[in-house]
Amino acid sequence: MGILDRSAATLRIFGDELIPEDVSKLLGAMPSKSFHKGEEEVGAVTGKVRIHKTGSWRLSVERRSPENLDAQIFEILNQLSQDLTAWKFLCSHYRVDLFCGIFMASFNDGLTLSPEALLALGARGIRLDMDIYNASE
């Protein structure tokens, strides 16, 4: 089993009633990106206007090469409230996940997450969502 080439991680919170400023107050941090439902965004490359169908709050960290998803998980979580009641509120009102891009270096790479990282995500009710990209793509 080879080592994964790189990883990307973003905590994402979505909801029609989501007000990004309220999420920031609850978590004690500012997002990398956030949008209110119905807000317009102009694509940096395409110039196309996109209207957000739901509210969102996202906190991303730098990609890691080689992959180090454990470090990225803690880099995100250590910036945010440790109050599990706040997380329970968020997860009961919104869709909360940690979106990860996993980029393979060969046809048979593997990923291991520590029990500590899995426990930290689980205690907060954060779903783990992974896209895994084959090295040939």
pLDDT tens digit sequence for 88-107: 999 999 999 999 998 887 77
Cis peptide before 20 (omega within 30 of 0): no
Q: Read out DSSP for 52-68? A: -SSEEEEEEEEEESS--
CA distance 11 to 96: 7
Contact 31, 57 (CB under 8 A): yes
Task: Please give the tally of structural domains in the chain.
Answer: 1
Residues 69/70/75/78 CA torsion (nearest 10 deg): 150
pLDDT in tens, 14-68: 999 999 999 999 999 999 999 999 999 988 888 899 999 999 999 999 998 888 8
Contact 15, 54 (CB under 8 A): yes
Confidence label for 110 from pLDDT (cuts 50, 70 and 90)? confident
Range of the structural domain that residue 80 is part of: 2-133
Q: Read out DSSP for 22-53? A: HHHHHHTS--SEEE-TT-EEE-TTT--EEE-S
| Per-residue pLDDT, 10 | 98
Please state the pTM of the whole predicted model: 0.91
